[in-house]
Amino acid sequence: MTYTDELIEAIGEYLLRLADDRMILSHRLAELCGHGPILEEDIALTNISLDLLGQAKLYYEKVAEMSEGEVTADDWVYFRDEREYWNVLLVEQDNEDFAHTIVKQLFFDVFEMLLYGEMVNSKDNDLKAIAEKSIKETKYHLRHSHEWMLKLGGGTEESNRRLHDAVELLWMYTGELFYTDEVDEILVAAGIAPDTSKFRDEYYNTLNKILVESELDKMDPDAWMQSGGREGLHTEFMGHILATMQYLPRSMPDEKW
Amino acid sequence: MTSNNQDTQWPLWEVFLQVKSGSPYGHVGSLHAVDAEQALQNARDVYTRRQEGTAIWVVPADAITASTPEDSGSFFDPANDKIYRHPTFYKIPKGVNVDVH
């Protein structure tokens, strides 16, 4: 297909959104490296973190490629400020406890599964290829988070309560996953990006099914939802994440080891 | 959780990997998990990160009956002096064609 300037600009913006979501969630999971509840789970979370980092890298590199070598993937990650990050608020939320970590992951995994399920039909060959590669990873991430939902929900009174608290807190961040603006409209019309509104019902039906299986109450898809991340307006956690994540390359630019 | 745990850890599972389709499963190590599904997932995460295998068995460690070091004398020493049990002990008569793989 031929790309107009308008399309190229929209793709660039869209890729950064996809990349930032995965980068920040990857970083959140990486924070748990060495702090997992047991050795095996520590490795599981780190594996997922690395998968997401790999996906983010593919998107950043494609943007870098499109910008004709002026910026690198590292520039996007390490030298942008909070207001220039477009990730959804869900992924930057605190790990808090293991239940929060799992619920956050589940909310993201179910969405990602549906997104990639559509993106494999993208008319952009790179996006199509990334989706085909990533959907296998995502399928496993979902299997992991789903299994933990069942275990924590059906576990002890305390694990069920913690899971419940996490769902209550994080639910309001799910709406933003379906955020759309002119960037999405242009790309959906061109057959490049999936139309997320097509699977919104399926997303919430799937989540509610898992909540019931996990001995929790259903939640309301039409409840009030928090947003802002896609416009660069983040929660109090974001600055701390970037401070940790960007400290080294900013204090020692171009350092190699 | 089973009651035969001697500590506060989750039950122990032994992990066997098949390197490629058709080849035998080999023991690669052990891990802790609360049930079979989690043991399978943990095995995938811990033991197949570098493409070490294409299929996994997980077995509850307490389902395995093992010989003990005390058994080794009576179990294995008697085979010491029975070299005729190796096929290489026998000379092949002239005129017999053998395909050596």
- Judge whether B58 lies within some domain: yes
Give the global pTM.
0.89
Q: Which of A44, A147, A151 sits opposite B45 (nearest CB)?
A: A44
Spatial contact of A203 and A254, defined as CB atoms under 8 Å apart: no
Q: Is A120 on the interface with B (CB under 8 A)?
A: no
Distance CA A168, CA A156 (A): 18
- SS3 string, B49-69, reads CCCCCCEEEEEEHHHCCCCCH
- Judge whether B5 lies within some domain: no
Distance CA A242, CA A244 (A): 5
- Judge whether B54 lies within some domain: yes
- Which residues lie closer than 8 Å to A250 by C-beta, 6 or more apart? A78, A79
Spatial contact of A95 and A31, defined as CB atoms under 8 Å apart: yes
Question: Which domains, from first to last, does chain A contain?
Answer: 5-251 (1.20.1260.10)
How much is the mean pLDDT over chain A?
95
- Judge whether B94 lies within some domain: no
**φ, ψ of residue B13 in degrees (nearest 5):** -125, 145
**φ, ψ of residue B81 in degrees (nearest 5):** -105, 25
- Judge whether B3 lies within some domain: no
- Judge whether B98 lies within some domain: no
Question: Residue A195 corresponds to which tokens in the numbers above?
Answer: 């139309």
What b-and-e string marks burial along A20-35, b requiring 16 or more CB atoms within 10 Å of the CB? bbbbbbbbbbbbbeee
Chain B contact set for A38 (CB, 8 A): 10, 32
- Judge whether B48 lies within some domain: yes
The stretch A133-145 carries a mean pLDDT of 97
What length is written for chain B?
101
- Judge whether B100 lies within some domain: no
Task: Give pLDDT tens digits for B27-61.
Answer: 999 999 999 999 999 999 999 988 899 999 999 99
Counting the structural domains of chain B, the total is 1
CATH number at residue B83: 3.10.20.520
H helices present in A122-236, as ranges: 125-153, 157-170, 182-189, 200-213
Residue range(s) defining the domain that contains residue B33: 12-89
Q: Which of A43, A147, A151 sits opposite B45 (nearest CB)?
A: A43
The stretch B81-95 carries a mean pLDDT of 84
Task: Give pLDDT tens digits for A42-69.
Answer: 999 999 999 999 999 999 999 988 887 6
